Amino acid sequence: MKDIKATERVSTIEYAIRDVIVYAKELAKTGKKIYYLNIGDPVAFDFDTPSHVKQALTSAVEQGANSYSPSEGLPELRQAISEKERRVNSVDVSADDVIVTTGISEGIQMVMAALIDAGDEVLLPGPTYPPYIAYAKFFGGKPVTYQTVEENGWQPNVDDLRSKISEKTRGIVIINPNNPCGALYEEKIVKQIIDLAGENGVPIISDEIYDQIIYEKRFSSTAHLARDVPVIGLNGFSKAYLMTGWRLGYIYFHEQNNQLQELKQCILKEARIRLCVNTPVQKAGATALTGPQEHIKEMIGKLKKRRDYAWERLNNMEGLSCAKPEAAFYVFPKVYGVGSRWRSDREFVLQLLKETGVLFVHGSGFDTVYGSGHFRGVFLPPVVNLEQALNEVERFMEKNA
């Protein structure tokens, strides 16, 4: 019997953040110590899910919340999400306009499936979170990245964005606070993007999963600023609520004139065919939003010290420069030797891994145009662990200067 052929749409899928782990696992078999600085999972380090959220999960199971739940999500969780968005982001969205998802990744998939037909385009910040590129392609569309400017703290270039809007554009994605760069977009720039969307009659898809992990400045939600421009919001529990493995997220629809109703109904259909999100986890999610919030402030305090340490160390290394992250927990340094010492940022990352055991993600995995020549790392470990890893990186850079 001949080999069974897979479809082209799945054979071309890439996800650089996890793809690089394959090389690290092979290296680890040789006894090499690996410093995992590739995945944004705070719970893999010294952050832990709040105890009251854990208790809510076990209580939900013990009290019998083990059956299917509504496809759109438990009413109590949708209401808690509505109240959280109003409290934290000043976004007025009703529980009826919320759909609960299995993590924000499923939300991205559902939105892209409902928005994109073959040949359609979606505008994404470059560099961008890879699933946006992957799902746009998966559904036959074309991801088009607009420039964000490294020298300006990775702020979007609105003129470049304007030049890339076409009759094929189906939506504009904003990832703010940003992954992979740690940027926090200026309010005036977000307003300019909103105006562009309104002028061209397209919605904004606003990914705000790092909305509560902010350092010195203030975050302004896209939906809060949007007025009559429709916004599809994406958010989740993985980061601020330290529930990465629990896989819980949500989509909300913010509009003035019912422009998103057809899209919402189609996404609800998608929700039905996957039945529902894990019921006990949804119960715990409601508790996460309505219970004590003190852990967020504590987490930000720890992260800020680690951010400052990693940023200073990287900027003092030969051959690297790094914009200061204002949110989230990522650094996205530029490698000046790419194109001369190393053929690509991927080659740089793999050689670094082989020689030092430090695992980063190549920048081109976040966009081959605006991400190339960089790498993404996390500053989630304690400073003592960051110091060990960055000492290895510094020796590597000095050796290859």
Do 76 and 13 fall into the same domain?
A: no
Q: What is the pLDDT of residue 15?
A: 64
Average pLDDT of the chain to the nearest whole number = 94
Domain boundary among 290, 321, 347: 290
339: confidence class by pLDDT, cuts 50, 70, 90: confident
Domain count for the chain: 2
- At residue 72's C-alpha, the angle toward residues 100 and 17, to 5°, is 30
Residue 256 CA to residue 92 CA, distance in Å, equals 11
Asked if 180 and 345 count as a contact pair (C-beta separation under 8 A), the reply is: no
Q: What is the pLDDT of residue 304?
A: 97
Type and span of the H or E element at 259: none
Checking if the pLDDT of 16 tops 80, the result is no
Asked if 400 and 373 count as a contact pair (C-beta separation under 8 A), the reply is: no
SS3 105: helix
CB-count exposure of residue 157 (10 Å: 0-12, 13-18, 19+): middle
Q: What is the pLDDT of residue 369?
A: 94
Do 283 and 301 fall into the same domain?
A: no
- Which CATH number do you get for residue 356? 3.90.1150.10
- Give the pLDDT confidence of 230-284 residue by residue, as tens digits: 999 999 999 999 999 999 999 999 998 888 999 999 999 999 999 999 999 999 9
Name residues whose C-beta falls within 8 Å of residue 222's C-beta, 6 or more positions apart in sequence: 174, 176, 190, 194, 204, 206, 208, 231, 233
Q: What residues make up the domain containing 136?
A: 51-290
Do 343 and 250 fall into the same domain?
A: no
Asked if 373 and 363 count as a contact pair (C-beta separation under 8 A), the reply is: yes
Checking if the pLDDT of 216 tops 80, the result is yes
pTM of whole model > 0.85? Answer: yes
What tokens appear for 185 in the block? 């977009």
From residue 312, give the alpha-carbon distance in Å to each of 63, 184, 325.
Answer: 50, 19, 11
Task: Give the single-character DSSP code of 258.
Answer: S
Asked if 142 and 171 count as a contact pair (C-beta separation under 8 A), the reply is: no
Residue 68: alpha-carbon gap to chain centroid:
28
